[in-house]
Structures are given as structure tokens and as C-alpha cells.
């Protein structure tokens, strides 16, 4: 049983999904292979698709259908339909809160601002980037202010909630404060412990790109990536394009460090598995989407950090590395490769950061972007704020903007308010990995053979297949692990792996 | 001066252009690199974009605005605006003639039917292709019947007119009958002449793909292709993706015959130059589009056949070939390469056909598809009809369906009624080349240096830059050459190149 208003909503939201999927494929094209001079036309296409989707959702008809569906027959809906209706309302509230012209203006600036960032990073030139970034951020902050007013929450919470439904700074702050108190001390203890053992011997470069590409394809396949319904390519910043049945991941390679490509590929493969595991029947409806940014990051980190940096998998990886590059000798032993991966040291790059210092990179960005949104920091002063906070949290100051505040694309691609999601994802990944190990006793032994399937089986069942059936990520975590979101599992994991192992 | 109804129409038609450009980029992706299992989602996206564009054009508002703009103020429009309004009305008539559900059904079947064709051709399996092809053609023929009724023309003319505005079988038939009378005799005279000189020595294969790709990039650059606003890739069937500022051509390579890639690349580069030369100010309006299929093919053939198979250019090409593949010896002399390119012999493949027999391939397809549209040929009987007509016109019968009726994608990608356009294009190309040589006396000498710029200068000025300012291709030809569309120039050209040179 169902009700006819609900059914008509499904048709409308499916159209919106098709428009969003078209936009995602076009954005993938822009990031991987679009000719350099084609940005203007592309920006207009993407802005048009976004505008039409928004116009569709903002039509009076949708408001009436939502009211009628909610009033008329939630009792007649099955749990997935009821959750879908809830997600429709949530999406509708999110979109209708902001006037369409403002949304279109944001969509139209997205591509050009990202291009400006690419140039600024390449040229280490923050000065010329101030104008484009300020123009784009001002629109986003204005939208967050309006949306916050409608939803009765602070602007930053409105941004955060767009990526992680229901999440608030009030939830994040105690968790992050706990980490800010815990991590610097842990970093010190780990580096002290490291100083008593030999430094890892560097893996001799260069690592030719064809072999790295082949290794990345193998690793993605090990994780479970399906090349019949996806691609692996290169782009300046690795990411996952999330279209049902067409999940594309990108990676990047350094000739002098093989770990960058491996890390990026496994990370994005984790994202891709979430998308590929979403329920087919709901793939074009809001309830069929991933539950939120933090859960999405948790899936990436579950594979990248929890599983593929475990001792059993690193030993398997060492073998793969020796085979892929035809190397042998003292640098290529299991134990040296493991030491290479376990090295903890504060650095400038978030992407290249080790597992222990990574959350400190996020705390840095969270503090800077909150001040930007709250109006206490001007765009021109980002470098100073960045460097001061880096000094405070990581003890180091980046020597260039390219290695500092220009390293990430997030603020130029509509991901303002997204950074906390990475560390929330790390907390959740630790909770999930502990739960998966309890439920699948052979999980670690399988990883020693390069076999991710027990882990994938657990997370498909307890995370992927549930899509957005639960109202929030926190609710899903409680259902899947029996525990609330907390810092406990991550802290235990880091102590075990870096101090006790 | 202008009028406000017209201005509002420009805004609406610009949105439709953005949707069409998005669709074109997504179709390019599907044909070059989409994962094999992703067709279902992609078909839904493309169908949605097409449906929204059609809904937009079919809204009562557009009808009212067109009426008001035409009634209110054509006198206030400049010639480009007036032509744009005329093109808007033409496009509107074309789209509104067919019910949206039927259009959507056609759009949704396009991708899957093309995929079915790819499998059928690969497996030489016409039998299993009958079902998908029949379903798709029935929808297209039904649409042509409806459109023909509305426009007061025959169904085949409605199909033809979609590709070449204003063109009718009544115009084509005398031209094609003339060629059907002329060409078989010419083929016989040319082959007799050839039998009295040594056969060309085959260019020794293999031709490694990386060098072929590099050569194709060089040739495209010679023609004038701009890689800042375009790409060159591979696909099963070479084609040009026509998005303003983002023109992408595809080619294909044979390891055993270097000419296939060269021919395809120069042909598609010719198409690309037309797109790249359209007026920037009108790039998102109907009047800014190319004038029609026949003119588009004329631009491809102007570069591929008229210019790049001329004796001066072939001599330059022979040098490029020797350099690209590091070859020398008797097969690689200018005169042998020229003989290779001048060889005339009836064959099975349209794409690989020589300049003299090519129109006979078109006559074959024209006869078959007219019978399909007029209802006197069933899809299941295509192979028999194909083979019989091939015997009659070319004197040969293809040994397999893959080499016969399955060789072309046109009927599976919405290009029913398109084939005549190739031969119309050949007629026009001959007329244009003759006119360009008169206007640019140094044209042939430049080709001897690999310099296409005098030819490009002429056609940019007399064809590309005019877009759809003239109401029909025939009108543009008259303006640019002072002559009506005719077979004379092509016949003279073929006699001169193949019998007299």
C-alpha cells in the first residue's frame, strides 16, 4: 500500500536524481580530461542542471505533495517509503531555504573558482586568489545564513548539516576538544618510541607511473571495486564520482613516493564501495543515498586506515610492492615497509598525513573555516590564521601557501563546512572496525591474504545496504555497533597500533 | 532595437542549448570511455535532459512568445535576430509536432539500441539485433509519420528535413539518379585506366598506435584543430561532439592500414572546424548552429577528400608518413603513396570507400532506409535487401552482416534519414572547393606545404561564420558560390582527378 501523493513525489525526485547524476558525470569530466578552454560552456551546463533541479523542488506542487503525503498516509507506507518521504522533506527544506538565483550564482562560480584555485596552488599565489575565493565564499556564507535562519540553526551548523544531517558544532566541539587534548601528547609519546628504533629505510624511487597505475587497479579490485560499473583515472585531487552504476574514482601518483597513489586509491575505493553497495531498488530516490559525509568518510578510512594499514595487510602489500616494481633488498622487507607506514611525524600535507596527526589537520581547518563563516576572519587573512593554528596544533608552519592553506580544494567546490566530517569519519571507522572484527573473527587473517571480503561483507550489511533508512548517521552507528558516536574506539586503536604493537 | 518577446525567447532557447550541450558531452563519454555496465543510468540521464528540453519548448509560453515576437516586431530585429527567430520557430515546429512521451521513449532507447548494435556487429549476429532495431525504428518511423502530417510532407522528408532543413526527396532523386547513371561507368573507366599502370605497393604494416595517434594529432593541428578547446580520442565509430568551446573528435586506428586513422581524423577535423568557426556571439542560440547536415558533411569532405587527397597534399603526407614511422624504400615514395590513395575499387565498407565509389554506398543505404520508412521493407529483411542492392550498384555482395548492413551505427543513434546528407555533402564540397580555388589562388601551393589556411580562410568566411543566417543550405550555397546545388562540380572533379590527372 502507498499513497498517490507519495508516488508522484517519487517521480519528481527521480528526475532530480537524473539531473544530479548528469551533473556528477560532467564534473568528473571537468576534473579529469576536459580541454582547458572549455570551462565557460561547462559552467553554464552545470549551472543549468542545478537550476532546473532546484526549480523542480521549489515548485508549489512539491510543497503540496509533501504536505498531502505526510498528512494522508504515512501509515500506508513501508519503512523505506516512510524514510524516503522524510528524506524528501529534508532535501526540500534544504533546497527551498535558499533563493534560486543565489543557488544558481553559487553553481555558476563553482567551476571557475576551482580553476582559480588550481592556478593559485600551482603558482603558490594566494594574493590573486583572494578575489575569486572571497566572491565564492561570500555567496556560500550568505546561503548558510539564510538556510540557518529558516532551519533555526547557526550558519556553520547549516553548512555542516548539508554534509552530515543533524550534526551540530555542539556535538563536534566536545569530541574535537577531547582529541585536541589527547593527540599532541600521543604524537609525542609515539615519536619518542620511534626514536628508540631504526628509522625506516626509504623505498628507492622512481616508481614508474604505468606500474603504479597497474598496482592501483589491483588494489581497487582487491577492495572490491567493479570496473564493469566504474573507472579509475588520475586527477589533481583524488575523489569519487558517485553515480549509480557508474562509480568513478581518481587517484594521483608521485614518482618519488609510491604510498601517495596507494593511499588515494584505497581511500577512494572505500568511498566507491559504499556507493556500489547502496540498494539498487532505491538508487534514484533520496533514501537510497549514502547516509552522510561522515559515514562516507568512515567507509574510506575503514579500508584505507583501519584495514589496509593493519600489520597483516601491510605484510601482504610489501609482497605486492616487491612484485609490482621488481625490487628486493633491505628496504623492501615486510618489517621495513611496515615501519615506513607506521612513521608518525607532523607534516604540512593533510593528504599525506599519518593516521595519528591527521585529525590535527582537520582541527586546524575547522577552526579557520568556522571563523570565516562566523565573520571573525577575512579571506585575505587566511594564510596568517592557517599558519598560526598549524604552529599551535602541529608545531610547524608551512613554508609556502601551496603547502599550507592552498593545498585543499574544498572551499572552492562547495565543501565549506565539510572538514569535520573527515575526523568524524575516523571516529566512526574505528568503531565500525572494532564491531566488524567482533562479528567476523577471520577478518584479520583474511587481510593477511589481501582479502577484504569479510570486512566488506560486514559493512555492506550494516552500513551500505541501509542507505538513508536511519534518520542520521549517529542513529545508524548506534544500530550497527550498539554504541554512540565517540572518541573511544579511535583513541584505543591509535594507542594499540602506535604504542603497543 | 528588439522586442521583449524575442528577448525572452533567447533566454529560453539558451537554456535548451545548455541541456543539449550537456547531453552531447554525456554521449561523448558513453562512446569513448563509459564503463560497460553504466548504460542504464546514462540512458535515464540523457532521456531526462532531452525530455526537459522538449517540455521547455512545448510550453504554452513559448508558443505565445513566438506568436508575439513574429507579430510584434520583426522590423525591430537585426538580420541575425530575425534569422534566429525564424530558426526558433522551425525548431519549435519540429519538436512540438511529436508528443513528448514518444520523444522520451525514443531518447531512452537510443543508448541501449546502439549498445545492441555494437554487440551485433562484433558477433556478426543480425538475428538477435532484429528485436532492438525494430523497436527503435518503429518509434522513429511513427514520429516521422506524425511530424510529416503536421508539416504536410512525407515521413521520409520529415526525417531528412530534421538533418537538412528544407531538403526533400524530390530534390534528391534527380541528383542521385544522375549519379547512379554516371558513377558505375566512371568506376569502370577508372579501373580500366588503373589496370594499365602498376598496382600500388602496399605500405608495410604494422603501424604502431602511439605513432598513429601522434600523426593524427599533427594532422588535426594542420587542419586548424584547437586542442585548448577540444580533444582527440578513439571510439568504435569516429564522430565529432559539437559543444561550443569544447569540440571533441574521435578517430580509430588499424594496425595494418595507416589510411583509416588519417582519413577519419581529417574528416572529423573538417567537422570540428565548422563548429569552431561558428560565431561566438550566437553560440547558444538556434541561429548559431551549423546550417545543416549536408553542409556539415561538406566541411568534412572539403578537408578529407577535396584537399587532403589532392596531389600536392598527398606528396606532403608521404613525407609525414616517412617521418612518423621512420620508413623508406619503394613503397614510401610520393608517387606510390599517391597511387595508394587514388586506387578505386568497389568494396564493402562505406568508411573505407574511395571517393568514386562512396556515393554508391550512400545510394544503397538511401534505397534501403526509404523502403523501411515507407513500410515496404521489414527489419528482418534488411540483409537481403542490402545485399541485393549492393550487387546492383557496386557489383559485390558482403560476405558477412558485420561487413554489410551492420557496419554503420546511424539507424541506432537517431540518424535515420541521414545518409543522403553524405552525398549531398560531397556535391557541395566539390562546389566549395572550386569556388575556394578561384578566390584563393595560392590554395593548392599551400596544400603542398601542408598548409590548409587559405582553404580554412575561405570556408570560415563563406560558410562557418554564417551559421544558420541563411534559411537553407541551398540558399547558403547560392550565396557563397553563385551556383545552385548540383552534381556538376563533383563529376568534373572526379573525372579530372581519376581520369585526367
Q: What is the mean pLDDT of each run of 10 residues along chain A (501 residues)?
A: 84 98 96 93 93 94 96 85 96 91 86 91 96 96 96 96 94 96 95 93 95 98 97 93 97 95 97 98 98 97 97 98 95 95 94 93 97 96 97 95 95 93 98 98 98 98 98 97 97 97 83
Q: Is the pLDDT score of B73 beyond 90? A: no
Q: Does B101 touch chain A (CB under 8 A)?
A: no
Please state the pTM of the whole predicted model.
Answer: 0.91
What's the Cα-to-Cα distance from A151 to each of A97, A147, A154, A171, B267, rounded to whole Å? 8, 6, 9, 17, 57
The most distant pair of C-alpha atoms in chain A lies apart, rounded to whole Å, by 72
Please count the residue pairs, one from chain A and one from chain B, whose beta carbons lie less than 8 angstroms apart: 105
Q: Does A45 touch chain B (CB under 8 A)?
A: yes
**Model confidence pLDDT, tens digit, residues B407-448:** 999 999 889 999 999 999 999 999 999 999 999 999 999 999
Rg value, chain B, Cα: 23
Distance CA A105, CA B455 (A): 42
Give B7's contacts (C-beta < 8 A, 6+ positions apart): none
- C-alpha distance from B448 to closest chain A C-alpha (Å): 31
Cβ-based contacts of A18 with chain B (< 8 Å): 44-45, 47-49
Q: Is the pLDDT score of B1 beyond 50? A: no
Rg value, chain A, Cα: 23
Give B438's contacts (C-beta < 8 A, 6+ positions apart): none
Check if the beta carbon of residue A56 is closer than 8 Å to that of residue B52.
no
User: What value does the mean pLDDT of chain B take?
Assistant: 95
Give A288's contacts (C-beta < 8 A, 6+ positions apart): A84, A244, A278, A279, A281, A282, A467, A468
Cβ-based contacts of A29 with chain B (< 8 Å): 25, 29
> Of B268, B297, B355, B474, which residue is the catalytic one?
B268
Closest-CA residue in chain A for B33? A231
Give me the sign of the Cα torsion angle A126, A132, A138, A140: negative
The residue with cell 594521483 is A252
Could you please report the per-residue DSSP string of B92-105? HHHHHTS-HHHHHH
Q: Is the pLDDT score of B450 beyond 80? A: yes
pLDDT of residue A108: 82
CB burial string B45-75: b at 16+ within 10 A, e below:
bbbbbbbbbbebbbeeebeebbebbbeebee
- Starting at the edge strand that comes first in sequence, how are the strands of the sheet with A230-234 ordered? A230-234, A246-251, A240-243
pLDDT of residue A2: 52
Cβ-based contacts of B22 with chain A (< 8 Å): 22, 26, 45-46, 48-49
Could you please report the per-residue DSSP string of A29-59? HHHHT--GGGHHHHHHHHHHHHHHHHHHHHS
Distance CA B385, CA B381 (A): 6
pLDDT of residue A103: 84
pLDDT of residue B108: 82
Question: Does the interface ipTM go beyond 0.85?
Answer: yes
What is the mean predicted confidence (pLDDT) over B236-252?
A: 95
Is residue B209 part of the annotated active site? The answer reads no
CA-angle at A388, arms to A385 and A392, nearest 5°:
135
Contact B228 A36 (CB under 8 A): yes
Among A13, A41, A249, pick the best mutation site for testing chain B contact (most B Cβ within 10 A): A41
Contact A35 B244 (CB under 8 A): no
Contact A37 B226 (CB under 8 A): yes
Contact B45 A25 (CB under 8 A): yes
Q: Hey, is A445 helix, strand or coil?
A: helix
Distance CA B99, CA A432 (A): 52
- Candidate from B45, B228, B248 with C-beta closest to A22: B45
- What burial class does residue B381 get, using C-beta atoms within 10 Å of its C-beta: 0-12 exposed, 13-18 middle, 19+ buried? middle
Question: Binning pLDDT at 50, 70 and 90, where does residue B2 land?
Answer: low
Q: What residues of A are labeled active site?
A: 268
pLDDT of residue B104: 82
Q: Does A37 touch chain B (CB under 8 A)?
A: yes
Closest-CA residue in chain A for B11? A48
Helices (H), A124-231: 130-151, 155-163, 169-195, 209-223
Give B21's contacts (C-beta < 8 A, 6+ positions apart): A41, A44, A45, B243, B244, B246
What is the mean predicted confidence (pLDDT) over B263-282?
A: 98
CA nearest neighbour of B87 among B160, B19, B16, B38: B16
Distance CA A187, CA B145 (A): 76
Contact B246 A35 (CB under 8 A): yes
Closest-CA residue in chain A for B246? A38
Contact B243 A15 (CB under 8 A): no
Closest-CA residue in chain A for B23? A22
CA nearest neighbour of A259 among A319, A297, A218, A207: A207
CA nearest neighbour of A477 among A224, A171, A55: A171
pLDDT of residue B245: 96
Amino acid at each position: 500500500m502507498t499513497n498517490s501523493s507519495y508516488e508522484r513525489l517519487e517521480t519528481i525526485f527521480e528526475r532530480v536524481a537524473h539531473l544530479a547524476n548528469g551533473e556528477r558525470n560532467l564534473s568528473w569530466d571537468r576534473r579529469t580530461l576536459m580541454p582547458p578552454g572549455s570551462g565557460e560552456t561547462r559552467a553554464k551546463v552545470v549551472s543549468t542542471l542545478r537550476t532546473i533541479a532546484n526549480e523542480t523542488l521549489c515548485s508549489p506542487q512539491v510543497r503540496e505533495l509533501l504536505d498531502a503525503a505526510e498528512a494522508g498516509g504515512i501509515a500506508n507506507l513501508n519503512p523505506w517509503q516512510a524514510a524516503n518521504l522524510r528524506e524528501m522533506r529534508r532535501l526540500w527544506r534544504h533546497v527551498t531555504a535558499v533563493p534560486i538565483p543565489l543557488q544558481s550564482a553559487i553553481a555558476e562560480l563553482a567551476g571557475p573558482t576551482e580553476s582559480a584555485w588550481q592556478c593559485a596552488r600551482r603558482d603558490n599565489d594566494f594574493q590573486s586568489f583572494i578575489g575569486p575565493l572571497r566572491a565564492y565564499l561570500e555567496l556560500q556564507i550568505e546561503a548558510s545564513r539564510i538556510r540557518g535562519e529558516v532551519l533555526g540553526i547557526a550558519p556553520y551548523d547549516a553548512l555542516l548539516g548539508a554534509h552530515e544531517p543533524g550534526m551540530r558544532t555542539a556535538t563536534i566541539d566536545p569530541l574535537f576538544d577531547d582529541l585536541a587534548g589527547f593527540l599532541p601528547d600521543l604524537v609525542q609519546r609515539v615519536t619518542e618510541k620511534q626514536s628508540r628504533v631504526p628509522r625506516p629505510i626509504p623505498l628507492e624511487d622512481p616508481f614508474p607511473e604505468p606500474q603504479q597505475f597497474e598496482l592501483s587497479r589491483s588494489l581497487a579490485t582487491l577492495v572490491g571495486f567493479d570496473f564493469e560499473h566504474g573507472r579509475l583515472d588520475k586527477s589533481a585531487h583524488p575523489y569519487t564520482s558517485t553515480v549509480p552504476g557508474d562509480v568513478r574514482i581518481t587517484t594521483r601518483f608521485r614518482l618519488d613516493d609510491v604510498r601517495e597513489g596507494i593511499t588515494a586509491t584505497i581511500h577512494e575505493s572505500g568511498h566507491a564501495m559504499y556507493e556500489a553497495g547502496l540498494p539498487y531498488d532505491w538508487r534514484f530516490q533520496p533514501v537510497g543515498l549514502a547516509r552522510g559525509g561522515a559515514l562516507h568518510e568512515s567507509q574510506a578510512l575503514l579500508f584505507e586506515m583501519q584495514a589496509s594499514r593493519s600489520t597483516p595487510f601491510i605484510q601482504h602489500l610489501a609482497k605486492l610492492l616487491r612484485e609490482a616494481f621488481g625490487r628486493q633488498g633491505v628496504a623492501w622487507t615486510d618489517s621495513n615497509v611496515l615501519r615506513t607506514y607506521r612513521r608518525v611525524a607532523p607534516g604540512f600535507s593533510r593528504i599525506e598525513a599519518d593516521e595519528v596527526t591527521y585529525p590535527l589537520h582537520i582541527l586546524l581547518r575547522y577552526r579557520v573555516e568556522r571563523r570565516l563563516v562566523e565573520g571573525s576572519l577575512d579571506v585575505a587573512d587566511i594564510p596568517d590564521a592557517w599558519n598560526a593554528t598549524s604552529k599551535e596544533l602541529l608545531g610547524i608552519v608551512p613554508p609556502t601557501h601551496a603547502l599550507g592553506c592552498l593545498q585543499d580544494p574544498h572551499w572552492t567546490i562547495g565543501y565549506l563546512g565539510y572538514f569535520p566530517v573527515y575526523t568524524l569519519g575516523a571516529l566512526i571507522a574505528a568503531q565500525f572496525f572494532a564491531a566488524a572484527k567482533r562479528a567476523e573473527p577471520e577478518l584479520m587473517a583474511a587481510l593477511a591474504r589481501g582479502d577484504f571480503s569479510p570486512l566488506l561483507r560486514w559493512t555492506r550489511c550494516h552500513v551500505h545496504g541501509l542507505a538513508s533508512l536511519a534518520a542520521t548517521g549517529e542513529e545508524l552507528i548506534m544500530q550497527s555497533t550498539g554504541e554512540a558516536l565517540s572518541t573511544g574506539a579511535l583513541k584505543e586503536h591509535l594507542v594499540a597500533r602506535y604504542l603497543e604493537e
